[in-house]
Each structure stands twice: as structure tokens, then as C-alpha cells.
Copies of this chain bind each other. A is one copy, B any other.
Amino acid sequence: VINNFEDLLNKVRGKEAKTIAIAAPEDIETISLVKKAIEAELAQFILVGDEAKTRQLVAEANLDDKFIRFLHKSDHYEAAQTAVEMVIEKSANVIMKGKLHTATFLKAVLNKEKGLNAGKLISQITVCEKVDRPGLLMFTDCAMNISPTLDEKKQIIENAVELGIKLGYEKPKVAALSAVEVVNPAMPDTLDAAALSKMADRGQIKAAVVDGPFAMDNAISPAAAKQKKIAGEVAGNADIVLVPNLQVGNTIHKILPIMGRVKVSAAVMGAKAPIVLTSRADSVETNLLAIALASYIS
């Protein structure tokens, strides 16, 4: 199991460098991130975009281009398409968004014929270190799905379970979150949580233990679970927290670094290869940890 982010970084550095294809990398933040990732030995890169502009930024950043390959596509959609092709033909292991619009990027990535579409829901997972014990803790979905249906929540869990297994959990423990730990008809997400628990019991969700509803404290704090007398292996010990909606997920992703100075990484799962969707709202540290995570799991 990956114990913490230091462990993740060490394990990525110790392996042969993976290749990340970036669509439209021609902006200073992206090139600066590429430089830091190369210096930290997290990956090598194929930069698919406006080649002249990209080369100029690489030169200005004093970035040794030994670990970089350039491909010229000035149109954003074509750049994303070409980056996808790099992954399909196994020249790259991971695809990453540069300065183009997320919608344009995902349109190329999720194209059903030429893209990385695996016929599954795409979802995001925020990752941080567990408190007081080894292991990484996942919250999902904190970025992509606004109000997932029950079936979408199942798929969001499955994507996170796939990540959890890659991070070393044999059978990840999934807590379905609400504001309370009891089933309450006035709170539909408590009903979804109960249904998801039973779906895992019946083998409809595989390779995971799912329980819920939980409030946040009794999902991730053993003391809080004990105090509320909630039994079971998930209570207080969740590896994955399924949030009920994007408002909760986005709040978690944003509040932890600001109010708690908590280190955060993120992954986008459900496609044929890991997707790195860096955001300017995220810190450089978060974006670097997202690159490390994608390198590790690819």
C-alpha cells in the first residue's frame, strides 16, 4: 500500500519514467509544471500543440528538452486528438490537459471511435493522506459529476475502487457520505447509500466493501465511529468516501488545502488511460501530485 505522498513520489522516481502527452501545452503555467515534474523525475512528456510557441516557452524556462518530444498541432481539438493517438499507439501512458477548454479536451478524449472512451462514466477523485495512519484517502467525485444518480454513484465507486486497488488496497473500504449516519427518507442520499451498501453485499459492486450512510466524522475517524456505536469494517476506516454531490466534493477539494493546509492530489478515472485535468485553481503541489499519481497508476 502507498503510505503517503512521499512514498508515492519515491515509488514513481524508482520506476522507468512514464510518458505524458499534453494537449495544448503552450502556456507558461503548463511549461513550468512540466519543468518541475521532470526535475522531480515524475515523467517525460510529449507536448502536442503550437510547436514554435511551446519551444519558446521551454527555452525561456531553461528547461532541458531531453525528456520532451514536440508535436505540432495548433488547433486545440486536433492537438487533443493527437495526444489521444499517442496514448492509443502506446507512445504515451497518460493524457493531460494544457491550456485548452476542458470541454474541447474531453470531446477528443471521450470520442467513441477514436478516443479513450471505455464505455464507462468518467469521474474525478481527490486524494489526500490519511491522518494518524498510513494510506491515501480518496474523496469522489469532487469535480465532474454534479448530481449523480444511483447508477452513476455505482460507477463513481467502481472508478475509485480501481484507483484504490492500484494504490495497494486489496478490497477498498467505501463509505457513502451524507450529513447523517441513519437512513432518513427526507435525505435521498441516505437511501442511495443504503442501496449502494446492499449492491456491494450482493456482488453488484465488486472488489470493495461499501457501507453507508455515514456522516464525515464516523466515516474517517475510528473514535467518532466508536462513539456513535457504528460497527463494521468501513466505519471510521474508509479508504474511499463517496460524496453525495458536487457541492460537497468541490467543497472538500477546496477547503482542505486552504483551511487545513492539507496536501491534495487528484485523478480522473474511467477512460482507457489516466487523465490529468490540472486546474489553475489548484496549487502547483496539487498538480505535481496529480502527475505523480497518474504516472504511478498508468
Contact = CB atoms under 8 A, between A and B. Distances in A.
Contacts of A254: 215-217, 224
Interface string A249-281: 111101110111110000000000000000011
A247 B252 CA distance: 11
A131 interface: yes
Contacts of A228: 281
User: Copy number in this complex?
Assistant: 2
A37 to B, nearest CB: 21
A259 B262 contact: yes
A41 interface: no
Interface of A: 128, 131, 146, 177-180, 186-187, 189, 215-218, 220-221, 224, 227-228, 243-252, 254-256, 258-262, 280-281
A78 to B, nearest CB: 28
Given A186-B146, A216-B250, A256 B258 contact: no
Contact of A245 (B128, B247, B259): B247
Candidate in A228, A245, A247, A261 with the most chain B CB atoms within 10 angstroms: A247
A74 to B, nearest CB: 26
Nearest to A282: B217
Contacts of A246: 179, 187
A281 B224 CA distance: 6
Contacts of A280: 227
A189 B248 CA distance: 12
Nearest to A216: B254
Contacts of A221: 258
A278 to B, nearest CB: 14
A148 to B, nearest CB: 13
Contact of A179 (B250, B256, B260): B250
A123 B116 CA distance: 47
Contact of A252 (B131, B178, B255): B255
Given A258-B217, A258-B220, A189 B247 contact: yes
15 contacts: A128-B259, A146-B179, A146-B186, A178-B247, A215-B250, A216-B251, A216-B254, A216-B258, A217-B281, A220-B255, A224-B254, A227-B281, A248-B248, A259-B260, A260-B261
